[in-house]
Amino acid sequence: MKTNGLYSKEEKIFQDKNKLYQAHSVKQIAYSTDPRDFGQVAKSIPCQEACPARTNIPGYIRCINEKRYGRAYELNRGANIMPGVLGRICSRPCETACRHGAPDNGVSVGICHLKRACADLKSPMHRIIEGLYAPSGKSVAVVGSGPAGLAAAHDLAILGHRAVVFETMEKPGGMLMYGIPEFRLPRDLLMTEINNILRLGVELKTGQAVGTHITLETLTREFDAVVVAAGCTKPRLLGVEGEDLENVYNGLDFMKQINKLIGDKLIGDRPQLINRINSGQSPIDRQINRGLSPIKKINWGLSPIKNVAVIGGGFTAVDCARSAIRLGAEQVTLYIRKTMDDMRIDETEKHEARFEGIGVESLVQPARILGENGRVSGIEFVRTRIETTEKPPYKKSVPIAGSEFVVPCDSVIAALGQAPDAHDVSDALTGLDKDSPATGMKGVFAAGDFVTGSTDVISAIAGGRRTALAVDLYLTAMERKKTVVRLESHATTDRPRSYDFIDRVPMNTIAMDQRLADHTREVETGFDPDQALAESRRCYLCSLKYEIDPLRCIYCSACIDVAPKDCIKMVETIPVNADGTYGRYVETGQWDRVVSITIDNEACIRCGQCYEVCPMDCISVTKTELIQMDMDE
Amino acid sequence: MPTSDHYVIIGNGPAGNAAAFTLRENDPDARITIISHENISFYAKPKLVRYLAGDIDKSALMVKEPDAYLQNNIRLRLGQTVMRIDLQNRCLHLAHMETVQYTRLVIASGSRARLLPSMKPYADCLTFVTEYNDIKGMREKIAAGKHFFVFGGDLVAFKFLKMLTHMKKQVTLLLYPKAFWPHTLTHAMQKTIVDNLARTGAHILVNDDLDTIVPEEQGGYNVTTQQGVKKQADLVFTFNGLIPNVDFARGCGLDIDHGILVDETMRTCLENVFACGSCAQIYNPDLTAYTTSIGWPNAVAQGKVAGLNLAGETCRVQQAGRKYFDLEGVKIKTTWWEDADREDTEGEDTDREGNDRKDADFKNTERKDVECKDTDRDRKTGEKDGR
Ligand SMILES: Cc1cc2nc3c(=O)[nH]c(=O)nc-3n(C[C@H](O)[C@H](O)[C@H](O)COP(=O)(O)OP(=O)(O)OC[C@H]3O[C@@H](n4cnc5c(N)ncnc54)[C@H](O)[C@@H]3O)c2cc1C
Ligand code: SF4
Ligand code: SF4
């Protein structure tokens, strides 16, 4: 690592200056509800804006930089509840939005790896912090213990309500427990973070399928409100001939079965697992197959999985493929309808799949599944091309006539995603609207994938939290929290320019033989403190807002001369949008029209060069953070 | 066509040059710019290996000298890298923060070395032979060095290996059966190849993989394989096939799979943006498969079609069928590879033919590769008549 534990001369000077500034500065803090400040925060901190739970990313990265891992963990937990889990499996919309990954700025910060780092590196005696409200005397039933249900239960418990979670399966966690493979998410870690929620007094009733063991109507009578967070379980079908052949599995069922076998400790390592599967000893869980799949015959007593075709390009498909490798498959190929670029998984995941020898065939779709004696023998595919459409989805794949070809395989895993099934819960449950937590039934709310269709864990958690607030409002008729912008004067720019050139720290992983030897062993092993420090330095800390005081500015343009980006603009007007936020700057090249020299915080990489050169000291730095406050605070 | 139109071509390889010169032939007034990140005029990549081995000098590597561009009024911007394409504003962002406006764009950015996932951690220790930039200073190092390690097993690797052993260098080849992308060698094929290559005196490793590469302080590397073979090498080379060089175009709005998706007119999903050569991905109905057309003759044919279509015609590229060629005694069937340097390796006196041959590849690809359909022209008639 270039920066491991060593400080360059430039960094030392910077640190000394920093200490001096801190000694002399007096913190000035203000709280704002001005729409312009909300607008500024949204534009300035793209990672936080992209995070469905609005995690204070620069805040926790800064804490990691100061080795305050516990504080970093709590900053995360305050927004996303399960940082250790998310630090491993989050879909990372923040990283796609990160300013460091913008064109010409390099590669995005390893936000997710840093989240994991604070979870891993915090003290084993770490104390979680929860601000509990007085008990309300109200009770809420939560249907489903996936991330959305758990998040809703967590927040309801904090708000003083009794939360009881009903779960079909034997263990809580939903897709975290039964969908995501253990080699990506260790179950002891998952259980620790679930237990942190249960410790708040949340009651968990497993093996209780609402709609089968207990009706939704009963829950509405026994509880003051109900949150349905039952996820998506109805698989999308291939809709082709041969789908009912043996050895055609539905992706989610495939993962569930493997995870259940491992969870039941029936299997520990690969050879055992293969034996179990091939000898057909594994108990077929009736719950798993209960109406969930059209391919009901998940029968592990079939011939070994050798040459596997996985249809689909999302997380489930890749998890199925990687699991198939661990089941002993010799050849595993993903078949996707659109392009490689359209695969809905992040680069790390793509890399790991490739590393494990999984092939990808793009621009194809299955035409039919071929069989011999009731078993799969191959798939006939047809090539597709991409067609641009006027309306969403804007790009669609269209089969190319006459382009059929056949590939031999012995197993097909169809992982095309799944849709929610409201009828499974209750026929009376109508009026689901992905933009609203309320449903058509009074006192019944919905959250997570169940209402939005399949998304990701972080969206489900954010959805669960939003729904909890809506339930709270329904139960108490009080709005208890407000979001405000906290503004704190900041005397320094916090980081030297050299940090911008640190390479992204790659994640440590275990070797291929170790992956195959122990089926459940976690592939990624996390950062050590030096790696976490190096990666944390890469963050621009976009919560720092740079401003030029127009009253002191003498228009010398010294800042423009040193700016590394097109970040300082000569502005004619700054329009205000209908919602009260600032619009796009109207720039001008004519000095007589310039009303101010302004820093564009969307382009600014917080390098501090302008701050250094300004002869009038008219550039100020303010830390801007979104925080939740009690209404009566 | 109005002369204010600016035709910009990214890439100075066979595809880019074919596009530029075809356009010039058909439109004497067009404003044409070629941008290339390499600081060298158009040269023959297939000859890089021989240049490395000291077999030919730089002049024999060149296909076109800068003068040819001057004479044809084609602006050649060398050493300039396109970082990003802004389709909406029709401009290219270059690494040195300049933006270049275009009316029509041809992407002919070629291919780059495929880096196997297992080799990613050691990328800094590996030498690639994909462009002139990669091998600057290598000629001298090879001349001075004794031990070399080669990973992979594509055609170039074998050619390179033979050159090194011919130079009396000690070479270890770790043969990857999957290196000859997109073909995977069967056991039988592998055996024939190994037997043939072993005759060169090189040490051939099979059924093994890289474990570590550790740079030594005084230069050179220590290579260890998973089977425990340890080798000291002055340079470690990797040849695992090529992939389209399109990272800079990702996310701009073009449809990109492995390469930039084009139809048989070499158009991308946008009317005014073309792609051709190794960076393009095209459906070949004869093969019922997509191909990224790695290979010189295909690049030239596609470049010509792009050039003609830029000039207002509507031409379709005729796709190459499969051809057999010889890979160390094994017949491989592919559409995309033809040993463009074949005659030379067979010992022809290249110096004598010199410049004539340099351009031969380029000129020989006559219009037979291009099929112009009158019916398709209707759409463009207005433009054509105006010319
Ligand atoms: C060692 C070697 C041996 C080969 N041997 C043979 C052979 O025997 N037979 C055969 O048929 N083929 C062979 N090939 C392949 C052949 O050279 C290629 O198929 C051919 O060069 C592809 O043409 P192209 O125009 O698409 O791309 P290239 O020739 O690769 O040209 C790409 C151009 O784009 C430029 N460029 C790329 N990105 C940017 C950017 N962002 N900004 C500006 N410029 C950019 C590059 O500088 C370069 O000028 C060989 C290739 C190599 C590397
Ligand atoms: S640089 Fe840091 S604060 Fe800025 S977007 Fe990226 S992670 Fe967020
Ligand atoms: S700190 Fe100043 S010079 Fe640096 S990027 Fe931001 S505005 Fe530009």
Q: What is the 3-state secondary structure (H, E, C) of A190-214?
A: HHHHHHHHHCCCCEEECCCCECCCE
For ligand 1, whether the C-beta of B49 sits within 6 Å is yes
Could you tell me which residues come within 8 angstroms of residue A504 by beta carbon, excluding any fewer than 6 positions away?
A106, A107, A108, A109, A110, A535, A538
Whether residues B52 and B125 fall in one domain: no
Phi, psi of A586 (to 5 degrees): -100, 110
Mutating to test ligand 2, I would choose from A45, A63, A502 the residue with most ligand atoms within 8 A of its C-beta, which is: A45
Q: Where are the beta strands (DSSP E) in A57-148?
A: 139-143
pLDDT reported for residue A16? 58
Rama region for A211: left / alpha / beta (φ>0; ψ in -120 to 50; rest): left
Chain A: closest CA distance from residue B147 (Å): 28
pLDDT tens-digit readout, A9-45 = 555 555 555 555 555 555 688 999 999 999 999 999 9
Could you tell me which residues come within 8 angstroms of residue B97 by beta carbon, excluding any fewer than 6 positions away?
A104
Cα B252 to middle of ligand 2, angstroms? 22
Flag whether pLDDT at A266 surpasses 70: no
Note whether B61 and B38 are within 8 A (CB): no
Residues of B in contact with A340 (CB under 8 A): 256-258
**Contact with chain B for residue A351, Cβ under 8 A:** yes
Domain presence at residue A4: no
Region A108-129: mean pLDDT is 96
pLDDT tens-digit readout, A197-254 = 999 999 999 999 999 999 999 999 999 999 999 999 888 899 999 999 988 999 999 9
Which of B181, B208, B240 lies at the terminal end of a domain, its last residue? B240
**Contact with chain A for residue B87, Cβ under 8 A:** no
Determine the Cα–Cα distance for residues A235 and A316; give it in Å rounded to an integer. 12
Determine the Cα–Cα distance for residues A65 and B150; give it in Å rounded to an integer. 41
Whether residues B120 and B225 fall in one domain: yes
User: What value of ipTM does the predicted structure carry?
Assistant: 0.76
Number of domains making up chain B: 2
Dihedral sign for Cα A154, A155, A157, A163, please.
Answer: negative
Mutating to test ligand 1, I would choose from B109, B239, B300 the residue with most ligand atoms within 8 A of its C-beta, which is: B109
The string of DSSP codes covering A28-67 is -EEEE--HHHHHHHHHH-HHHHHSTT---HHHHHHHHHTT
Whether residues B191 and B99 fall in one domain: no
Taking residue B136's Cβ as centre, other Cβ atoms within 10 Å add up to 11
Flag whether pLDDT at A631 surpasses 80: yes
Number of domains making up chain A: 4
Note whether B38 and B130 are within 8 A (CB): no
Whether residues B156 and B276 fall in one domain: no
Q: CA separation (Å) from B189 to A45, B30, B150, B162, B184?
A: 56, 50, 19, 19, 9
To the nearest 10°, the Cα dihedral for B146, B149, B153, B157?
A: -40
The packing angle between helices A69-80 and A57-65, to 10°, is: 160
Determine the Cα–Cα distance for residues A462 and A456; give it in Å rounded to an integer. 10
Which DSSP letter does residue A129 get? -
Note whether B35 and B51 are within 8 A (CB): no
pLDDT reported for residue A129? 92
pLDDT reported for residue B196? 87
Domain presence at residue B72: yes
The string of DSSP codes covering B118-187 is GGGGGGGGEE--SSGGGGTTHHHHHHH--EEEEEE-SHHHHHHHHHHHHTT-EEEEEE-TT-STT----H
Whether residues B124 and B39 fall in one domain: no
Cα A374 to middle of ligand 1, angstroms? 49
pLDDT reported for residue B335? 55
Domain that holds residue B67: 6-112+243-372
Place of tokens 């269209």: A398
Contact A355 B117 (CB under 8 A): yes
Q: What is the pLDDT along chain B (387 residues), one digit of tens a residue?
A: 445 899 999 999 999 999 999 999 999 999 999 999 999 999 999 899 889 888 899 999 999 999 999 999 999 999 999 999 999 999 999 988 899 999 999 999 999 988 887 788 888 899 998 899 888 888 889 999 999 999 887 778 888 898 899 999 999 999 876 665 555 667 787 888 888 888 889 999 988 888 889 999 988 999 999 889 999 999 999 988 888 999 999 989 999 999 999 999 999 999 899 999 999 999 988 888 898 866 888 899 999 999 999 998 889 988 766 565 566 666 666 655 555 554 433 322 222 222 333 333 333 333 334 443 333 322 222 222 222
Element (H, E) at A542: none
CATH number at residue B354: 3.50.50.60
For ligand 2, whether the C-beta of A47 sits within 6 Å is yes
Mutate to test the interface with A, among B83, B225, B255 (most CBs of A within 10 A): B255
Cα A614 to middle of ligand 3, angstroms? 11
Determine the Cα–Cα distance for residues A116 and B46; give it in Å rounded to an integer. 47
Whether residues A229 and A199 fall in one domain: yes
Which of B240, B263, B293 lies at the terminal end of a domain, its last residue? B240
Note whether B19 and B9 are within 8 A (CB): yes
Work out the angle at residue A453's Cα, subtended by the Cα atoms of residues A448 and A458, and round it to the nearest 5 degrees: 40
Whether residues A125 and A175 fall in one domain: no
Contact B289 A341 (CB under 8 A): no
Least confident of A262-271, A440-449, A494-503, B213-222: A262-271
Domain presence at residue B378: no
pLDDT reported for residue A230? 96
Whether residues A468 and A616 fall in one domain: no
Domain presence at residue A347: yes
Rama region for A137: left / alpha / beta (φ>0; ψ in -120 to 50; rest): left
For ligand 2, whether the C-beta of A605 sits within 6 Å is no
Note whether B20 and B34 are within 8 A (CB): yes
Whether residues B281 and B226 fall in one domain: no
Contact A341 B256 (CB under 8 A): yes
Domain presence at residue B312: yes
Note whether B43 and B132 are within 8 A (CB): yes
CATH number at residue A582: 3.30.70
Determine the Cα–Cα distance for residues A80 and A463; give it in Å rounded to an integer. 11
Contact B288 A405 (CB under 8 A): yes
Whether residues B157 and B120 fall in one domain: yes
pLDDT reported for residue A365? 96
Radius of gyration of chain B (CA): 22
Domain presence at residue A3: no
Residues of B in contact with A351 (CB under 8 A): 117, 120
Whether residues A394 and A260 fall in one domain: yes
Cα B349 versus chain centre, distance? 25
Work out the angle at residue A266's Cα, subtended by the Cα atoms of residues A262 and A269, and round it to the nearest 5 degrees: 65
pLDDT tens-digit readout, A49-96 = 999 999 999 999 999 999 999 999 999 999 999 999 999 999 999 999
To the nearest 10°, the Cα dihedral for A566, A567, A573, A577?
A: 110
Domain presence at residue B384: no
Which is more confidently placed, A326 or A459? A459
Work out the angle at residue A360's Cα, subtended by the Cα atoms of residues A356 and A361, and round it to the nearest 5 degrees: 160
Which DSSP letter does residue B219 get? S
Contact B269 A388 (CB under 8 A): yes
Domain presence at residue B193: yes
Mutate to test the interface with B, among A107, A322, A339 (most CBs of B within 10 A): A339
Contact A355 B257 (CB under 8 A): no
Chain A: closest CA distance from residue B185 (Å): 15
Determine the Cα–Cα distance for residues A486 and A492; give it in Å rounded to an integer. 17
Cα B323 versus chain centre, distance? 19
CA atoms within 13 Å, Cβ hemisphere of B15: 28
Note whether A303 and A410 are within 8 A (CB): yes
Chain B: closest CA distance from residue A545 (Å): 25
Return the ligand number nearest the Cα of A548.
3
Note whether A416 and A251 are within 8 A (CB): yes
pLDDT tens-digit readout, A588-620 = 888 888 888 899 999 999 999 999 999 999 999
Chain A residue at shortest CA distance from B252: A103
Note whether A184 and A523 are within 8 A (CB): yes
Place of tokens 């943006």: B273
Domain presence at residue B382: no
Residues of A in contact with B97 (CB under 8 A): 104
Whether residues A169 and A317 fall in one domain: no
Return the ligand number nearest the Cα of A56.
2
Whether residues B106 and B132 fall in one domain: no
Flag whether pLDDT at A291 surpasses 70: no
Cα A332 versus chain centre, distance? 26
Residue A326 burial by Cβ neighbours in a 10 Å radius (0-12, 13-18, 19+):
buried
Dihedral sign for Cα B264, B269, B271, B276, please.
Answer: negative
Which DSSP letter does residue B320 get? P
Domain presence at residue A121: yes
DSSP reduced 3-state for A250: strand
Whether residues A375 and A283 fall in one domain: yes
DSSP reduced 3-state for A391: coil
Dihedral sign for Cα B252, B255, B256, B260, please.
Answer: negative
Whether residues A522 and A424 fall in one domain: no
Cα A608 to middle of ligand 3, angstroms? 6
Region A133-159: mean pLDDT is 97
Whether residues A17 and A118 fall in one domain: yes
Note whether A165 and A153 are within 8 A (CB): yes
pTM score, two decimals? 0.80
Whether residues B100 and B146 fall in one domain: no
Region A158-166: mean pLDDT is 98
Domain presence at residue A358: yes
Domain that holds residue A333: 238-413
Whether residues A180 and A111 fall in one domain: no
Domain presence at residue B296: yes
For ligand 2, whether the C-beta of A300 sits within 6 Å is no
Whether residues A462 and A568 fall in one domain: no
Place of tokens 């059209």: A294
Return the ligand number nearest the Cα of A496.
3
The β-bridge partners of B127 are B237
pLDDT tens-digit readout, A174-186 = 999 999 999 999 9
CATH number at residue A210: 3.50.50.60
Whether residues B227 and B164 fall in one domain: yes
Could you tell me which residues come within 8 angstroms of residue A300 by beta carbon, excluding any fewer than 6 positions away?
A257, A276, A277, A278, A280, A282, A284
Whether residues B261 and B316 fall in one domain: yes
pLDDT reported for residue A378? 96
DSSP reduced 3-state for A473: helix
DSSP reduced 3-state for A322: helix
Region A441-467: mean pLDDT is 96
**Cross-sheet strand order for the sheet of B147-152:** B126-127, B235-239, B147-152, B170-175, B203-205
Whether residues B216 and B264 fall in one domain: no
pLDDT reported for residue A20? 52
Give alpha helix (H) positions in A146-237.
147-158, 175-178, 187-198, 216-222
CA atoms within 13 Å, Cβ hemisphere of B282: 29
Chain B residue at shortest CA distance from A566: B97
Residues of A in contact with B283 (CB under 8 A): 383, 385, 400, 403
Determine the Cα–Cα distance for residues B29 and B10; give it in Å rounded to an integer. 20
Whether residues A95 and A120 fall in one domain: yes
**Contact with chain B for residue A199, Cβ under 8 A:** no
Chain B: closest CA distance from residue A239 (Å): 23
Residues of B in contact with A354 (CB under 8 A): 117
Chain B: closest CA distance from residue A560 (Å): 15
Chain B: closest CA distance from residue A364 (Å): 10
pLDDT tens-digit readout, A519-541 = 889 999 999 999 999 999 999 99
Amino acid type, B126: L
Q: CA separation (Å) from B253 to A224, A382, B101, B249, B260?
A: 50, 25, 17, 8, 11
Residues of A in contact with B243 (CB under 8 A): none
Six-digit token string for B252: 């701009």
Residues of A in contact with B258 (CB under 8 A): 340, 362
Which of B240, B265, B283 lies at the terminal end of a domain, its last residue? B240
Least confident of A250-264, A299-313, A597-611: A299-313
pLDDT reported for residue B159? 86
Domain presence at residue A541: no
Cα A536 to middle of ligand 2, angstroms? 10
Whether residues A357 and A491 fall in one domain: no
